Amino acid sequence: MRITITFFIAIITCALAGCTNRPMTAPAGGGSAAETPPPAPLTPVPSVINIPAEIKMSYIENAVNKQLSGNIYRNNAYPVEGIGSAQITVKKDGRIKIRANRDMLTYKIPLKISLRFSFSILGHTEYQDVDAGIAIALRSKYTLKNNWQLATTTTVDGYEWTTAPTVKIRFITIPVKPIADFLVSKQAGIINDLGKMVDNAVLSEVNLKTMVAPLWQQFQIPTEIAIPDMTDRLWLRFDPSDIYMAGITGRGESVSAMMGIRAVTEAVIGDKPNAPAPKPLPNFKTSDKQDSSFTINLYAEIPFTKATGICRELFVGQTLKSGRQKVLVHDIDISGGNDGLAHVKMDLSGSLKGTVRVTGRAVYNESAQTLSIDNFNFDVETQSQFERTKNWLLKGIIMSKMRPLMKFPLDKQLDGTKKLLQEMLSERELYKGVVFNGRVDTLSVRGIEVTGNAFRAVVLAKGTAGVKIKD
């Protein structure tokens, strides 16, 4: 990667120092040519990282069982049709089981019902007990609100006796299942209350925000990617902005969905980059489709001091000839300005004497995969007006000798960078239990930026990527 990026910058700086693709015109009055307009800023390209999300039914089960425990219902004067007043106690008699099926949750709630009632025979009052085990089936239609709250609407879906209801008369136990069925069917109030209890338990205990927020926060911390035999440090940084949910469906012991985090993903070579300003987990947005495309913004910076050294090795001491005209390059210096352009200063002698100042910006031809210079501008510092005009003409002649050198193929360098990125994206554990995996399909140079102290190559890698959550 170091060789590849250095080659990029060597092309840029050396092209700025000695190449142009348009004839230059001497300015009227000896001034400089029209100023090169500053390049438009390169805004990072965001994309969506898909993360399969899964809610285990055990998580919801734990929440419901925590809320519904012990005695669920008790009434010492409960009206029972045909009997009168009775004492009734309903208590949970085992663990509540929950299963998912598409957009529904099904519950099986094991209960023990104890009923005591009295009746009189020939003036004698008898107290009778009815004990039974029953499993109430409930069905909930669930929705995930965009504030990460899981909401359910629960209705009764039947029941089954787990132990046959019996009546104890003194020392005799008499099965009374038909009577019990009739009584249960008439006491819908108690059973329907169970549905409300389940809904309240899910609403108060199940908050998916606490599950997603740590991942969202962790995503905002730059992660170093170790590549064998690479001396430069490589970092992956995410700057998330939105989060999406799509395809929410339940099956068996889990509810699954595809979660997408929209973020600017950047690969940075060098020192650890600053983390973006922390952002709290936002409400999610719904999406009917899943976008599997993925973009990495790759940046590599070469300081102007290093770029200057590259160009000095190539140009200082070199003589450029055109017919009887020739110039000797004594020194070259690369810098950047607030205008976003590269500034190159060359000290020359010979047919052209003085200091040549060059500004321009690099452009990339994607179809040809070549780099060239656009909006080239220069000025010559000499002692006299006559010398400046003559030097402008000489510079046009000298530049024409270098035009064949102004186009630089980058296809091989892009292929090498593509292979490196593919290695970087293959089964990388970003954080504990979070594995990033992707494929690079295309690689292109988006542009070259000039900062205050360095050249910055912007490369876009496009492909597909996703994140797996390990248990």
Residue 173: predicted pLDDT: 58
Residue 128: predicted pLDDT: 76
- Examine the pLDDT at 112 and tell me if it is beyond 60: yes
Q: Is the pTM of this model over 0.85?
A: no
Residue of higher predicted confidence among 394 and 43? 43
- Examine the pLDDT at 117 and tell me if it is beyond 60: yes
Q: Is residue 196 part of a domain?
A: yes
Write the single-letter amino acid at 185.
Answer: S
Q: Is residue 163 part of a domain?
A: yes
Per-residue pLDDT band for 16 (boundaries 50, 70, 90) equals very low
Per-residue pLDDT band for 379 (boundaries 50, 70, 90) equals low
Tell me the C-alpha distance between 416 and 425, whole Å.
15
Residue 4: predicted pLDDT: 43
Q: Is residue 471 part of a domain?
A: no
Q: Is residue 373 part of a domain?
A: no
Q: Is residue 13 part of a domain?
A: no
Q: What is the CATH number of the domain that holds 184?
A: 3.15.10
Q: Is residue 102 part of a domain?
A: yes
Per-residue pLDDT band for 405 (boundaries 50, 70, 90) equals very low
Tell me the C-alpha distance between 218 and 213, whole Å.
9
Token pair of 183 as six digits? 């009584």
Residue of higher predicted confidence among 171 and 73? 73
Q: The domain containing residue 74 runs over which residues?
A: 57-206
Tell me the C-alpha distance between 58 and 97, whole Å.
9
Per-residue pLDDT band for 32 (boundaries 50, 70, 90) equals very low
> Which percentage of the chain shows pLDDT scores above 90?
10
Q: Each residue of 33-58: pLDDT tens digit?
A: 445 566 677 888 999 888 888 888 88
- Examine the pLDDT at 184 and tell me if it is beyond 50: yes
Q: Is residue 144 part of a domain?
A: yes
Tell me how far the alpha carbon of residue 384 is from its chain's centroid.
Answer: 60
Tell me the C-alpha distance between 384 and 391, whole Å.
11
How many domains is the chain partitioned into structurally?
1
Q: Is residue 28 part of a domain?
A: no
